[in-house]
Chain A
Amino acid sequence: MSQSLSLRAGLVSILILLAFIGAWWGATLPTQVDLGDMDPEYAAMMGLDTTQESDIPTPGHIGSAIWTHLSDPFYVKGSNDMGIGIQLAHSLWRVLAGFALAAMVAVPLGFLIGMSPLMHKALDPYIQILKPISPLAWMPLALYIIQDASISSIFVIFICSIWPMMVNTAYGVSSVRDDWLAVAKTLEVGPIKKAFKVILPAAAPTILTGMRISMGIAWLVIVAAEMLVGGTGIGYFIWNEWNNLDLANVIFAILLIGVVGMILDMIFGLLGKVVSYKEV
């Protein structure tokens, strides 16, 4: 039954895709232009034709753009012309670097906040103020202080991924069941062993959820950050193609961002499954 459900769902998905591409194709068909009594030779000289191609790229254009980019993703022809794989690698590197730095700060700090009601109360106002700030608002300050565009975007990723991880870690740590802590106490388990063998595994699913949210936000923010600072990356690629008025490439990049974001989310979903447990 469930197999036939996924089969039917897959079929509906494909139908929706076909309908969408069909509608797109229909909407971007070349239009007939009435040239009136203009001399055809004059019209041709003026670049006018009775059939006018659509400004919006057709599905065919996108298909060929996808093919061009994916058939040679890693070429480098100067600083303004690099393969999509290289751009993507730059973006992923910034996201992973910023994310890893954020995890190194957020998880220990979240532990501290979760274990100590004093630190929770003391740090709460700062977290509440810093959390709602759009990460891009930090960009001018980062650029001025760090004076390096690439490191500044890593900083922006760092600052935006730190909050969900920290808040979730703190929540996970503070809601570890008293029973388990009592077991550790009666067994005279030391603080380090307690942190790694009891609290960490107990809070791991919540921490992983925080990481998953952070990764989602980081991937949203990197595109905007790279549009702003330029140079390399998928965000810069989109902005560059917009300046080239190559909408087919823009649409290709949009699709690619979606696919990569989905894969990143799936990785954290799988990691979350590994550390999850059924409470009884």
Chain B
Amino acid sequence: MTTPSFIQVDGLEKTFPGPAGQEPVTVFQNLDFEIEKGEFVCLIGHSGCGKSTILNILAGLDAASDGYVFMENKELTGPGLDRGVVFQGHALMPWLTVRENVAFAVKSRFKRHSKDEVNAQVEKYVDMVGLTPAIDKKPHQLSGGMRQRVGIARAFAIEPKMLLMDEPFGALDALTRGVIQDELLAICQATSQTVFMITHDVDEAILLADKILLMTTGPFAEVAEVAYNPLHKPRSRQEMHHDGHYYPFRNHLMDFLVNGPGTPYSDKATDGTPPALDKAPRTGPRRVVSA
């Protein structure tokens, strides 16, 4: 009927062995969702629902207990250069300069590149995040926001098919976070990058995401709702709250986080949202809305 999605997550489940003599703990289960090419998808949920584990499975750093992840119809079984990861705590190597950190990634991705080609690629992406003046500095000479920018440049520099971000701005102050969110938005819109990002910041999700996956709390966490962002593109932090959809959508997300799953947003909304096609009965409180 339709072409298969870029990323297809099928019945994903993660179970950790419990303490000696106790039942194993299932953190999340029955996870099904899709990511289309060029889509910015945010995953929102409370801590403990296994958000980071989901991202690690997509990155190939962790293995699922059950279920599959397909990327362009091929099952993902390990880490790969087709996915760039921005880590929660930047994960820069402190003995390398900004240039060397990004070059480490570029050289791994483009093994046949000459020195000049590597350097050009590095400088292009360091410039993209506005860090050219600091390119020969070590991470300890940079501020937290600058370090996270280097992490973003490193992930983009391998030109991945998908970018995976694990609460990349969680450790930053509000001002810096806003600035980098704007930059990320601009870069993603310019490059049509496919992004999967974990956050617990509702406003961040509304600003950045095309599609928001709402997760229930663990254990046995599930994706209870897939909400499409009704705010029109291009969005900006300055204008966003004047959009008529902003407050209803924000309230909906907040209600979900505070009170748990309720009526899906697409059923409440009157316009600007994709129609709900699939409300087939499924077990649990989960509703899946797909375009």
CB pair B105 A187 closer than 8 Å: yes
Please encode chain B, from 62 to 90, with 1 for each CB lying within 8 Å of some chain A CB and 0 for all others: 00000000000000000111011101010
Contacts of A188 in B (CB 8 A): 79-81, 108
Q: Sorted from nearest, which 5 A-B pairs have the closest CB atoms?
A: A179-B91, A278-B140, A187-B108, A277-B95, A277-B94
A: residues with CB less than 8 A from B are 177, 179-180, 182-183, 185-189, 197-198, 201-202, 204, 275, 277-280
Contacts of B61 in A (CB 8 A): 182, 185-186
Contacts of A186 in B (CB 8 A): 59-61, 79-81, 83-85
Subset of 5 A-B contacts with CB under 8 Å: A180-B91, A183-B85, A187-B109, A201-B95, A278-B138
The residue on B at minimum CB distance from A189 is B108
Give the size of the chain B interface in residues (CB under 8 angstroms).
Answer: 26
Please encode chain B, from 127 to 159, with 1 for each CB lying within 8 Å of some chain A CB and 0 for all others: 000000000001110100001000000000010
Contacts of A189 in B (CB 8 A): 108
Known: A182-B61, A185-B60. A197 touches B140 (CB 8 A): no
Contacts of A187 in B (CB 8 A): 81, 104-105, 108-109, 158
Mark out the residues of chain B between 89 and 137 whose CB falls within 8 Å of any chain A CB in the assembled complex.
89, 91-95, 104-105, 108-109
- Partner among A180, A185, A275 whose Cβ is within 8 Å of the Cβ of B93: A180
Tell me the smallest distance from the CB of B109 to a CB of chain A, in Å: 7
The residue on A at minimum CB distance from B85 is A186
Tell me the smallest distance from the CB of A208 to a CB of chain B, in Å: 13
CB pair B79 A185 closer than 8 Å: yes
CA–CA, A186 and B108, complex, Å:
10
CA–CA, A29 and B109, complex, Å:
78
CB pair B94 A278 closer than 8 Å: yes
CA–CA, A188 and B160, complex, Å:
13
Contacts of B140 in A (CB 8 A): 277-280
The residue on B at minimum CB distance from A201 is B95
The residue on B at minimum CB distance from A177 is B91
CB pair A182 B85 closer than 8 Å: yes
CB pair B89 A179 closer than 8 Å: yes
Tell me the smallest distance from the CB of A81 to a CB of chain B, in Å: 51
The residue on A at minimum CB distance from B80 is A188
CB pair B94 A182 closer than 8 Å: no
CA–CA, A189 and B158, complex, Å:
13
CA–CA, A202 and B96, complex, Å:
10
CA–CA, A202 and B92, complex, Å:
12
Contacts of A204 in B (CB 8 A): 95
Tell me the smallest distance from the CB of B177 to a CB of chain A, in Å: 18
The residue on B at minimum CB distance from A180 is B93
Known: A182-B87, A187-B104. A280 touches B94 (CB 8 A): yes
CA–CA, A183 and B93, complex, Å:
9
- Partner among A185, A198, A277 whose Cβ is within 8 Å of the Cβ of B138: A277
- Partner among A182, A185, A202 whose Cβ is within 8 Å of the Cβ of B95: A202
CB pair B80 A202 closer than 8 Å: no
Tell me the smallest distance from the CB of A183 to a CB of chain B, in Å: 5
CA–CA, A183 and B95, complex, Å:
15
CB pair B105 A182 closer than 8 Å: no
CB pair A198 B93 closer than 8 Å: yes
CB pair B91 A183 closer than 8 Å: yes
Most chain B C-beta atoms within 10 Å of own C-beta, residue among A179, A202, A280: A280
Tell me the smallest distance from the CB of B165 to a CB of chain A, in Å: 12
Contacts of A277 in B (CB 8 A): 94-95, 138, 140
Contacts of B158 in A (CB 8 A): 187
CA–CA, A187 and B60, complex, Å:
11
CB pair A280 B81 closer than 8 Å: no
Contacts of A180 in B (CB 8 A): 91, 93
The residue on B at minimum CB distance from A276 is B95
CA–CA, A198 and B91, complex, Å:
12
CB pair B104 A197 closer than 8 Å: yes
Contacts of B95 in A (CB 8 A): 201-202, 204, 275, 277
Contacts of B147 in A (CB 8 A): 280
Contacts of A177 in B (CB 8 A): 91
Tell me the smallest distance from the CB of A155 to a CB of chain B, in Å: 35
Starting from the known contacts A186-B60, A188-B80, A280-B142, 14 additional A-B residue pairs (CB-CB under 8 Å) come to A177-B91, A179-B87, A179-B91, A180-B91, A182-B59, A186-B85, A187-B105, A187-B158, A188-B79, A277-B95, A277-B138, A278-B140, A280-B139, A280-B140
CA–CA, A153 and B92, complex, Å:
45
Contacts of B109 in A (CB 8 A): 187
Mark out the residues of chain B between 36 and 56 whose CB falls within 8 Å of any chain A CB in the assembled complex.
none
The residue on A at minimum CB distance from B105 is A187
Please encode chain B, from 231 to 268, with 1 for each CB lying within 8 Å of some chain A CB and 0 for all others: 00000000000000000000000000000000000000
Tell me the smallest distance from the CB of A214 to a CB of chain B, in Å: 23
CA–CA, A182 and B60, complex, Å:
10
The residue on A at minimum CB distance from B94 is A277
Contacts of A202 in B (CB 8 A): 93, 95
Contacts of B139 in A (CB 8 A): 280
Tell me the smallest distance from the CB of B145 to a CB of chain A, in Å: 13
